[in-house]
């Protein structure tokens, strides 16, 4: 029989902030027990921690539903501009529910995490990726006053990463196996999506016929705003075979084939393609991308045509006002098929003239570029598109012809320019350049950090920017302080609130007020104390989960990134080997590189993971090193793990080659949580240095212009190897099998890449990186000076709120004014507090 919980334990499970009436607490308990008994059919004798979580989740959802419905009523009645965020066919992983921790009544905050002991994080794990999982996307959901029409509801995420004998092993991420208490299926809004077939032209226009139909079933998840009664909707789509799918085969006895065909149709939302930074032209991936695009656009047009709440009748039949009512943001090229699909709907179905349809389409779409790596930009083979989406290929050809005619009229006889700007790339395999399609079909194009946007304009899409310079903008990414400070680091959040008040949660720019406390000895000690408490908690977690004991007083040097050569985990690894070789290493330095998984098919990334673990095996078991240096690779990096790692970090590694990282958002999370940054002038690091002062970051290495000059001269890794003895020693150890005695040639491919195929120039920045790390060690020994620099960084983090980013998108791209109007709660009249009409966005 389990012992009763202490008062302190109970407070940990359900905490109440603000003034909450006893009736609200009693109601919460009644709801919890009701769902435990009547929804889950369990009592406390047999209920598991997961059952308790599900009962709690259903209870919270009950409290959200009234606000959810009222929000939709409000959007329909006010008919504001509709926002759709395109992230089609790619990744989504928003952590434990999107948006904010739900608030029940005036200030009731749930902080109970009974799933933690099980390790059953109930994340919305329809996939994972830098952008969608831990990057900008969940933060934008939190900040937007929109409904996001998103992507397939994958039954399996990318994978769960396990490390076995130092190697990455992928296991199926069956995130829906226990159900999802937050989502609501909407079969009444199921929509058909067409594939294959052929196109028939007649006097009345083109007709796409003899297609294979797959049904798109929407699942809605509530996304609560922060203390404003707004509950928006995240919509995911699941593929379903039609009921009559191959019924003929079934009737003649070929039951197995009928079932197999049905499974084939539903595979679209079974599992996603994982490669984040390497494009592979696979048919299933194109199907996934078009599937979400087609379903979403049908849904948007249905909503556009209906203007009354609950109405299914089409009342708008003229599309002139479509761009005034609808804004669609294409995040990267994954939803690019939305452009020809909307043209197909306008021209083939709604019978609009081409020119009018194209004008409406361009004014509706905007495109955000998230990568400058050429191998990551999608280029679909023409043959594949012709087979899968024959009408769309015709439309793309027509768009391209008109586009090239325009270019030719401006630049006569410039054939090379026509080739560079064409949507169709000629060669052994004819391909469609999807980034070019996005630029041509959008009214605005933006990068996600100042330096990235400049590279987009001057290098990646130089010809397009020269043609339409006004089209190109910058929108620096941001993070939500609700999840990435209040929720994951309550001690620091509370400490800040005591000094500057609680309004910074909604207006992060108020953090600048902390500059007044940089020399406050008491505040310095309190900030250091919060950090130390977070480190102690994380050290205990590491000891429990990884059986590695680390000294909480040592520096927690953390590298959190997807494994990719441009993020240069190898340079960090070379520095760890250098510290190891120096014995004793830097004072109380704990190097802890951590990374999100490598894509399953990415050989070099897997070799880098194996190398890091091989180095860790040697370092952590060397008695001469003892507790001075420990190296840990944390497997299966995810939102719940990030919420432990980030508050405990002292030093954040942001060391990509200058000009390769679009923005980064991890750098912002670490900065907000009191970590100092060692990094190159790349991505958002540049703006972080502008805000905090370059002297308050550890900046090293080549700038973009230095990289360009080195490319021009030719990068020769051998020169650095010959000149730098410590680099030579570290590389020779990897090459000779010092870290892989059972297989001395294990890391041959890694060494070969570093010498002969390293586009990201690890050796060129190695010396500056090691010297900068020495400055880090020196400052860390002076706790007061270190903490003062930490406070300056936190005070400068206000720019990097996703609230600011979304306001910029709203004003500059979607042409709407964000509203701070608070929708009345369900227990108040619907017109309460609505004496002004907002111009906010909705869907």
C-alpha 843/C-alpha 828 separation (Å) is 23
C-alpha 225/C-alpha 147 separation (Å) is 12
Q: Are 679 and 660 in contact (CB under 8 A)?
A: no
Segment (H or E) for 775: helix 762-780
Q: Write down the catalytic residue from 535, 567, 638, 792.
A: 567
443 is annotated as an active-site residue: no
Q: What is the dihedral of CA 557, 561, 562, 565, to 10 degrees?
A: -80
561 is annotated as an active-site residue: yes
Q: Write down the catalytic residue from 562, 568, 586, 628.
A: 562
C-alpha 836/C-alpha 26 separation (Å) is 36
If we measure between CA atoms, which residue out of 593, 577, 591, 602 comes closest to residue 739?
A: 577
Q: Write down the catalytic residue from 235, 483, 669, 788.
A: 669
- Identify the bridge partners of residue 207 per DSSP, sorted by sequence position: 200
Helix (H, G, I), strand (E, B) or coil at 596: strand
The DSSP 8-state label assigned to residue 439 in this structure reads H
Beta-carbon neighbour count of residue 166 at 10 Å? 18
567 is annotated as an active-site residue: yes
C-alpha 316/C-alpha 334 separation (Å) is 30
C-alpha 64/C-alpha 101 separation (Å) is 11
C-alpha 107/C-alpha 21 separation (Å) is 10
If we measure between CA atoms, which residue out of 186, 60, 182 comes closest to residue 125?
A: 182
Per DSSP, the residues of 388-415 read H-HHHHHHHHHHHHHHHHHHHHHSTT-H
827: left (phi over 0), alpha (psi -120 to 50) or beta: alpha
Q: Write down the catalytic residue from 561, 586, 761, 799.
A: 561
370 is annotated as an active-site residue: yes
Segment (H or E) for 123: none
If we measure between CA atoms, which residue out of 680, 704, 713, 690 comes closest to residue 458?
A: 704
Q: Write down the catalytic residue from 230, 578, 660, 665.
A: 665
Buried/exposed code over 641-662 (b: 16+ C-beta within 10 A; e: otherwise): bbbebbbbbbbbbbbbbbbbbb
Q: Are 357 and 343 in contact (CB under 8 A)?
A: yes
- Residue 666, token pair as written in the block: 């991890």
3-class SS letters over 49-107: HHHHHHHHHHHHHHHHHHHHHHHHHHHHHHCCEEEEEECCCCCCCCCCCCCCCCEECCC
Q: Are 221 and 183 in contact (CB under 8 A)?
A: yes
C-alpha 273/C-alpha 284 separation (Å) is 8
The CB-side HSE value for 221 (13 A sphere, CA atoms) comes to 30
Q: Which residues does the annotation mark as catalytic?
A: 370, 561-562, 567, 665, 669
């Amino acid at each position: 029989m389990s012992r009763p919980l202490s008062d302190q334990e109970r407070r940990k499970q359900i905490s109440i902030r603000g003034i909450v009436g006893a009736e609200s607490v009693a109601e919460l308990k009644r709801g919890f027990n009701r769902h435990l008994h009547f929804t889950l059919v369990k009592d406390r004798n047999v209920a598991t921690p997961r059952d308790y979580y599900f009962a709690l989740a259903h209870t919270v959802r009950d409290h959200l539903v009234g606000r959810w419905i009222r929000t939709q009523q409000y959007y329909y009645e006010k008919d504001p501009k509709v926002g759709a965020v395109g992230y089609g066919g790619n990744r989504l992983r928003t952590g434990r529910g999107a948006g904010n921790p739900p608030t029940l009544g005036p200030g009731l905050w749930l902080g109970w995490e009974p799933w933690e002991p099980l390790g059953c994080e109930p994340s919305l794990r329809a996939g994972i990726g830098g952008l969608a999982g831990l990057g900008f996307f969940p933060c934008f959901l939190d900040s937007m006053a929109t409904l996001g029409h998103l992507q397939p509801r994958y039954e399996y995420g990318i994978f769960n990463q396990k490390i076995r004998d130092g190697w990455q092993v992928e296991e199926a991420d069956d995130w829906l196996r226990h159900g999802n208490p937050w989502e609501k299926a909407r079969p009444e809004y199921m929509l058909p999506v067409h594939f294959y077939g052929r196109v028939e032209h007649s006097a009345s226009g083109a007709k796409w016929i003899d297609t294979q139909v797959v049904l798109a079933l929407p699942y809605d998840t509530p996304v609560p705003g922060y203390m404003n009664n707004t509950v928006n909707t995240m919509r995911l789509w699941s593929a379903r075979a039609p009921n009559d799918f191959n019924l003929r085969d079934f009737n003649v006895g070929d039951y197995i084939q009928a079932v197999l065909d049905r499974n084939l149709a539903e595979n679209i939302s079974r599992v996603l393609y994982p490669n984040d930074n390497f494009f592979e032209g696979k048919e299933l991936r194109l199907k996934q991308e078009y599937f979400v695009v087609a379903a979403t656009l049908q849904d948007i047009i249905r909503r556009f045509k209906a203007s009354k709440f609950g109405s299914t009748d089409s009342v708008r039949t003229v599309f002139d006002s479509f761009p005034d009512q609808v804004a669609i943001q294409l995040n990267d090229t994954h939803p690019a098929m939305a452009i020809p699909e909307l043209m197909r709907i306008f021209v083939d179905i709604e019978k609009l003239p081409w020119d009018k349809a194209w004008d409406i389409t361009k004014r509706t779409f905007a495109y955000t570029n998230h990568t400058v790596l050429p191998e990551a930009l999608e280029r679909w083979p023409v043959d594949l598109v012709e087979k899968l989406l024959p009408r769309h290929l015709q439309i793309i050809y027509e768009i391209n012809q008109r586009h090239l005619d325009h270019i030719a009229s401006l630049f006569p006889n410039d054939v090379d320019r026509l080739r560079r700007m064409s949507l169709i790339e000629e060669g052994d395999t004819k391909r469609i350049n999807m980034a070019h399609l996005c630029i041509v079909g959008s009214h605005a194009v933006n990068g996600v950090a100042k330096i990235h946007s400049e590279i987009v304009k001057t290098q990646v899409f130089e010809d397009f920017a020269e043609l339409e310079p006004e089209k190109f903008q910058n929108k620096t990414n941001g993070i939500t302080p609700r999840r990435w400070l209040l929720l994951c680091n309550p001690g620091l959040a509370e400490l800040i609130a005591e000094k500057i008040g609680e309004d910074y949660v909604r207006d992060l720019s108020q953090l600048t007020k902390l500059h007044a406390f940089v020399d406050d000895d008491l505040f310095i000690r309190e900030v250091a104390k919060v950090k130390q408490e977070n480190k102690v908690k994380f050290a205990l977690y590491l000891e429990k989960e990884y059986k590695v004991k680390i000294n909480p007083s040592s520096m927690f040097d953390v590298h959190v990134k997807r494994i990719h050569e441009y993020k240069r985990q190898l340079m960090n690894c070379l520095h760890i080997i250098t510290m190891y070789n120096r014995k004793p290493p830097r004072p109380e330095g704990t190097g802890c590189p951590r990374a999100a998984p490598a894509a399953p098919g990415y050989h070099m990334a897997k070799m880098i993971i194996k190398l890091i673990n091989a180095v860790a095996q040697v370092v952590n078991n060397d008695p001469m090193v003892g507790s001075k240096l420990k190296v840990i690779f944390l497997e299966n990096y995810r939102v719940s793990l990030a919420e432990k790692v980030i508050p405990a970090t002292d030093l954040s590694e942001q060391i990509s080659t200058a000009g390769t990282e679009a923005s980064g958002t991890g750098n912002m999370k670490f900065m907000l949580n009191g970590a100092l940054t060692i990094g190159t002038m790349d991505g958002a690091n540049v703006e972080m240095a502008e805000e905090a002062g370059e002297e308050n970051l550890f900046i090293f290495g080549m700038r973009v212009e230095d990289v360009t000059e080195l490319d021009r001269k030719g990068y020769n890794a051998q020169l650095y190897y010959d000149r730098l003895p410590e680099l030579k020693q570290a590389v020779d150890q990897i090459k000779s099998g010092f870290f892989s005695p059972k297989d001395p040639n294990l890391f041959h491919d890694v060494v070969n890449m570093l010498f002969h195929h390293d586009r990201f120039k690890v050796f060129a920045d190695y010396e500056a990186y090691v010297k900068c790390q020495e400055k880090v060690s020196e400052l860390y020994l002076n706790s007061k000076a270190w903490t003062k620099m930490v406070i300056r960084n936190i005070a400068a983090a206000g720019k990097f709120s996703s609230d600011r980013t979304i306001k910029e998108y709203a004003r500059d791209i979607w042409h709407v004014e964000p509203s701070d109007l608070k929708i009345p709660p369900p227990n108040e009249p619907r017109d309460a507090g609505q004496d002004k009409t907002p111009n906010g966005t909705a869907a």
